[in-house]
Amino acid sequence: MARSMFNAFLLDVHDKLIDYSQKPSEDQKSFEFLHARSRISAKHNEISRIFLKELEHYFDRFAAQELSSPEDIEGDADEGLALLDHDALEENIALAAIRKRAEIDYLESLWALGQRMSLLYGGKTIPENQLPLAPGRFCSAIKRALAVADIPLPARLVVCKLFDRQVVSQLGAVYGKANDLLLELGVLPNLNYQIEKSKSGDSARFTGAAPRKHQEVSQAGVQTPSMLAMNQPLSLPSQDLPAQEYQHQLVESIQFLHQRLLANASPEEVARPGQPLQYAGHQLVEAAVQLQQLDQVMAADILSVAQDIKPLDIAKARRRLVSQLKEITHSEKAPPLSGDDVRAIDLVGMLFEYVLNDEYLPDCIKALLSYLHTPFLKLAFSESDFFRQQEHPSRLLLNALADAGARWVRNDGNDQFDMLEQIRQAVRAVLDEDEVDAKLFAGLLMAFNSTVQKIELRVQLLEKRAMEKARGEDRLCEVKQRVNREIHQRIAEKDIPSAILLFLLQPWTDYLSFVLLRYGDNSDAWLHALALVDDMLWGVELSGSESEWLRWRQHYPWMESIIQQGFDSIGYETGKALKLKRSIDHIYQLRERNLKPDAAPEAIRNKLIHMAEMKAGEKVDTSRMSEKEQDVIEKLKLMEFGTWFEHRDGKREKVAWCNPSTLHFLFVDQSGKRSGMRTGEELALAMVAGEMRIISGSTKPLVERTMEAIFSELNDQAQVQPQGEQHAQ
């Protein structure tokens, strides 16, 4: 099936490229399309063979139970990335967009195929993007196949577009046949694709029915009975649990702790179990809708000022909601809320309070995200268990907005890739919708992620280029330091004439660095270059015996040839080289007459040695550092790539690469461009002076780490609660 689809696709490409070549005012591109058509026609069979062979290769690896690495996906997205040109980047971006769109379109079929093929794989889970028939495999195969034709970028992009229309659009039928075949073989015949639905016990929440009975949260699965001991704090669920189960148990624990804290609340504020409520579910949602409308009006002006966004006052949210509910129910007093509703209000409130206190996020992003509080509150009323769903679109969107804001927005509102406006538009889109549900958040998430993925491809390319350059520079620095040590060990505590000292510490140091970089320290060139240093110093210290001088005269012509070879290799200026060689010859002529040449004055010697050390790159000398600076240096040695720093003015930079031995750190800005190399000493001094600080963050997404922080705070509050009140539950 793949063979017939691909051959039909190549024939269509042949026709379409003629159409593109005939478009007016495109003389240069017309030639490119005609050239591409000719190349594809000439390489038709080879292109088809490579494409089909690539697909067979993925099945062979699957049969051998060898999962592909992430680098194999999307058509060699990272292969040679350090030297990837603009054309290759554009092709990668086009193929990545095709792959991601196909993965969304065929989500259900790919999921079913992944489940069935995982069973054939020995029960090990196979990510959908690593299936032999995944859309990324087809994109990778077409990229490798087109490489043999060597066609220009405009034509390659047209071919990719046609590939999307002619081949990728038919993958649904391919996945259907693959699932049917496995079904016939009896592989998971009863498999059903299901989306987890809400398990709220409040089935009448939106029926408009009058007063409801309060339902307490179930404690099933919270933790063991030992947890119920009132004088013992709860512990976080095991990190070894599957992510979804961990999240479920975490939310159960949070709700249990919250229930303990509400046990002694006033009946006027929180209704007792079994007590009829004075409001219906739809009235509570109506109150939240009115709050959102007020937020829309308030946000219209506030969100338009990027540099000075005033955050929403989360602390007033409950009072505002109760006030609205009082008006809707026409009550003289605010009606007491059920424990479930109080938990929803408090949990959403704490979530956004922690967002506002997250030091990883710029202040303007915190303020923007705070306006999602009321929509999330409405969602909590309608889907009471959405906090348990780690993959709920609302959570994923909040995580995505926060992560993008932290990466590409500064505290002063300056941003990269117009990211602040992108986040602002997403927040406004949520506020402007009266119906807040998973579908709304899923649509916004898909659009936002599409934008972010294109940005990430460019940023990754820039970072990798910067890293490759930094590695080269650092390697050169290590080589220079090695050469400087070799020279210093040989000249230490020796009286050496100025000309020889100058020769060794300047041009010959450069030549030694060149040889070590190119040939390594086991090469004859390196050994000869070092031997010349020893021979020159030997010539200065000759004892004066005739046999020794005879040996020297026989050896010196070889030394002269090696010196000239070194000068030629590094391109040393001819005039300087001639003058330096004459000075060295004069020194040895004096020695032959048994005269001792003057040693370099102390001031000149120290200056030349200092210049050589500076040229080799400064090494961190902790002996002259303060205790605080030394502590910072020790922490920097353990720092991981990807750590973010913030300057006093709000500018953010990331450590893209570092060498723990030389303590050289490569920094890139928020767009991925290189912003500079810093030594450990420079970084320590800046941190101690308060000019720079590490932005401490977690590898977990925003909502996940916030939920753990909420658990910790409630756990602490529960321990402070008086024993009598705890037992009153």
What domains appear along the chain, each with residue ranges and CATH number? Answer: 2-184 (no CATH), 243-255+266-436 (no CATH), 471-616 (no CATH), 622-697 (2.30.30.30)
Which residues are within 8 A (CB) of 628 and not within 5 positions of it... i.e. 6 or more apart? 688
| Percentage of the chain lying above the pLDDT 90 cut | 3
Report phi then psi at 596, rounded to 5. Answer: -95, 120
Predicted local confidence at residue 213, as pLDDT: 38
Residue 434 one-letter amino acid: D
Predicted local confidence at residue 637, as pLDDT: 78
Q: Among all chains, which residue has been given the structure tokens 């990466």?
A: 407
Predicted local confidence at residue 206, as pLDDT: 29
Cα-trace Rg, the chain = 35
Confidence of residue 614 (pLDDT cuts 50, 70, 90): confident
Confidence of residue 305 (pLDDT cuts 50, 70, 90): low
State the Cα–Cα distance between residues 465 and 389, nearest whole angstrom.
39
Length of the chain: 729
Q: Is the pLDDT of residue 209 over 50?
A: no
Q: Is the pLDDT of residue 28 over 80?
A: no
Mean model confidence pLDDT for the chain: 77
Taking residues 334-346, what's their average pLDDT? 78
Rounded to the nearest 10 degrees, how much is the dihedral formed by the CA atoms of 383, 389, 390, 394? -20
Predicted local confidence at residue 383, as pLDDT: 76
With contact defined as beta carbons under 8 Å apart, do 279 and 328 qualify?
A: yes
Question: Which comes out higher in pLDDT, residue 468 or 73?
Answer: 468
Confidence of residue 401 (pLDDT cuts 50, 70, 90): very high
State the Cα–Cα distance between residues 537 and 525, nearest whole angstrom.
19
Taking residues 424-436, what's their average pLDDT? 84
With contact defined as beta carbons under 8 Å apart, do 369 and 409 qualify?
A: no
User: 228-232, 481-485, 550-554: which has the highest mean pLDDT?
Assistant: 481-485
Taking residues 187-201, what's their average pLDDT? 53
Percentages helix, strand, coil for the chain (3-state, rounded to 5) are 65, 5, 30
3-state secondary structure of 223: coil
Give me the residues paired with residue 653 across strands. Answer: 645
Catalogue the long-range contacts made by 188-196 (C-beta closer than 8 Å, 24 or more residues apart).
Answer: 188/115, 188/116, 188/119, 191/112, 191/115, 191/116, 193/108, 193/111, 193/112, 196/389
Predicted local confidence at residue 68, as pLDDT: 55
Predicted local confidence at residue 505, as pLDDT: 87
Which of 6-20, 230-244, 543-557, 591-605 has the lowest average pLDDT? 230-244
Confidence of residue 142 (pLDDT cuts 50, 70, 90): very high
Which of 76-90, 433-447, 582-596 has the lowest average pLDDT? 76-90
Which of 63-72, 490-499, 693-702 has the lowest average pLDDT? 63-72
Which of 159-168, 216-225, 423-432, 653-662 has the lowest average pLDDT? 216-225
State the Cα–Cα distance between residues 725 and 159, nearest whole angstrom.
72
Taking residues 690-697, what's their average pLDDT? 78
